[in-house]
């Protein structure tokens, strides 16, 4: 297995440069140009993709391990924090002509990306970007023990204590207190 590392502005993959399969290709996006514009993502720190590629006929079967470090907003304390999002995507790279000839009628569920030109270059930025967006949690939490905001005074309880917090965290015990007082 050959390992090729490249750092590119976009996630451009040149298949012609690979002479032995299966091959592993590591792509690193430049965070200054690879941005994820998505609700709830407040910054993109780093995006890396490890691609395992197997060639079969004129098609390249790719499995991509995507890792992105992005800035999210904690749903409890509303602070921004860096989170690592991961996902695995599978897709097939081939020429439009190959697809039209062998695959078009099959109507399978695979994702196809067409390469262009002599160097068989393909830009996978968009599929990588989408996989990171899908990995953004509905309720991002900065840490399992994030204490959130005080519901009364709004102070960030990870950073400060407040006097009202004591009275409010015991809601779940209220029922038991009623029993005891009976």
Q: Which residues bind Zn ion (CB under 5 A)?
A: 74, 76-77, 142, 146, 150, 152-153, 162, 164-165
Q: Which residues pair with 25 in a beta bridge?
A: 4, 51
Cα radius of gyration rounded to whole Å, the chain: 24
Compute the Cα dihedral for 72, 74, 75, 77 and give only its sign.
Answer: negative
Toward Zn ion, which CB reaches closer, 46 or 165?
A: 165
User: Considering the complex, what minimum distance in angstroms separates the CB of residue 32 from Zn ion?
Assistant: 27
Helix, strand or coil, per DSSP, at residue 172: helix
Query: Which residue's CB is nearer to Zn ion, number 17 or number 163?
Result: 163
* Least CB distance to Zn ion at residue 142 (A): 3
Report the 10 Å Cβ neighbour count for 125: 19
Q: Which is nearer to Zn ion, 61 or 81 (by Cβ)?
A: 81
Residue closer to Zn ion by CB (options 62, 74) is 74
150: left (phi over 0), alpha (psi -120 to 50) or beta: beta
Handedness of CA 172, 173, 176, 178 (dihedral sign): negative
Quote the CA–CA distance of 14 and 35 in Å, as a whole number: 22
**Within a 10 A sphere around the Cβ of 135, how many other Cβ atoms?**
16
Closest approach, Cβ 149 to Zn ion, in A, equals 8
CB of 110 or CB of 161, closer to Zn ion: 161
In the complex, least distance from residue 172 CB atom to Zn ion, rounded to whole angstroms: 18
Least CB distance to Zn ion at residue 137 (A): 13
């Amino acid at each position: 297995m050959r390992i090729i590392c490249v750092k590119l502005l976009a996630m451009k993959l040149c298949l012609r440069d690979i002479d032995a399969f299966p091959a592993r290709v590591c792509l690193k996006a430049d965070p200054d140009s690879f941005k994820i514009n998505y609700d709830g993502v407040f910054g993109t720190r780093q995006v890396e993709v490890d691609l395992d590629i197997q060639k079969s006929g004129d098609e390249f079967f790719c499995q991509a391990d995507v890792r992105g470090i992005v800035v999210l907003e904690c749903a409890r304390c509303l602070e921004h924090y860096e989170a690592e999002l991961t996902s695995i995507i599978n897709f097939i790279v081939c020429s439009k002509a190959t697809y039209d000839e062998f695959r078009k009628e099959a109507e399978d569920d695979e994702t196809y990306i067409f390469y262009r030109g002599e160097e068989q270059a393909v830009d996978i930025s968009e599929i990588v970007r989408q996989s990171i967006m899908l990995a953004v949690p509905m309720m991002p939490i900065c840490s399992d023990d994030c204490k959130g905001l005080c519901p009364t005074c709004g102070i960030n309880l990870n950073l400060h204590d407040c006097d009202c917090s004591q009275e409010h965290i015991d809601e779940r015990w209220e029922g038991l207190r009623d029993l005891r007082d009976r």
